[in-house]
Amino acid sequence: MTVTHADVKAARDDPKLANVLYHDFEATTYDGKWSITFDDRCTDFARDRFVSIAGRDGWPYGAALEIGAGTGFFALNLKRAGVIDRVSVTDISPGMVEVAVRNGARCGFEVEGKVADAETLPFGDESFDLVVGHAVLHHIPDVEQALREALRVLRPGGRFVFAGEPTRHGDVVARRLSTWTWAVASRAVQLPGVRRWGRTKQELTPAS
């Protein structure tokens, strides 16, 4: 997807478009940027986070959906941990869905991936035993509607588990840190000897 300055300008008033543009841009490098892996380190983290909220009863959940899955960090690591059996992922970013499905294949899993808005999930009523999300609710403009959708697609007796949301102070720190990091990185990659390892100035400008 080619991003124009008009797209970036429109995204300033459209949080959904902003999410698509940013996450499509970052999809192929996102795991490295945030140290996301599909090994014991991240599997233990995801499992322990899930257990702290929902306990260990009911494992494995038969059909599970991750909303705003990104590259599949939470659902795929829960699958590795034996928490869930069949995995479906959605994200508003086509690039993220593509990477999540590819990550699943690398783990040896068959993953159903769909590009979808969390506020209008493309699944029938009572389709899943478990709905999960990790660090996603703060991206959704209408959280109440998204939760209605999560409940709609849950089977009777199913569960939904959302984790990883930033705290008020943590979000402020994260925003300031990301702004500072971008400013430093965008200048550093223009230095001789470093330029070939970074993204071009033209690539970085739409992301700012």
pLDDT score for 171: 52
H or E element at residue 146: helix 143-153
pLDDT score for 87: 98
pLDDT score for 206: 44
- Residue by residue, pLDDT tens for the chain (208 residues) are 677 878 778 878 888 988 899 899 999 999 999 999 999 999 999 999 999 999 999 999 999 999 999 999 999 999 999 999 999 999 999 999 999 999 999 999 999 999 999 999 999 999 999 999 999 999 999 999 999 999 999 999 999 999 998 876 555 555 565 566 556 656 665 666 655 545 555 554 544 4
pLDDT score for 2: 74
How many other CB atoms are there within 10 angstroms of residue 71's CB atom? 28
Q: Which two tokens stand for residue 58?
A: 């009911």
**What are the angstrom distances between the C-alpha of 72 and each of 134, 161, 191, 206?**
10, 15, 34, 25
- CA–CA distance, 184 with 15 (Å, rounded to integer): 25
pLDDT score for 197: 47
Closest of 118, 29, 35, 128 to residue 73, by C-alpha: 35
State pTM to two decimals: 0.79
Rg (CA), the chain: 18
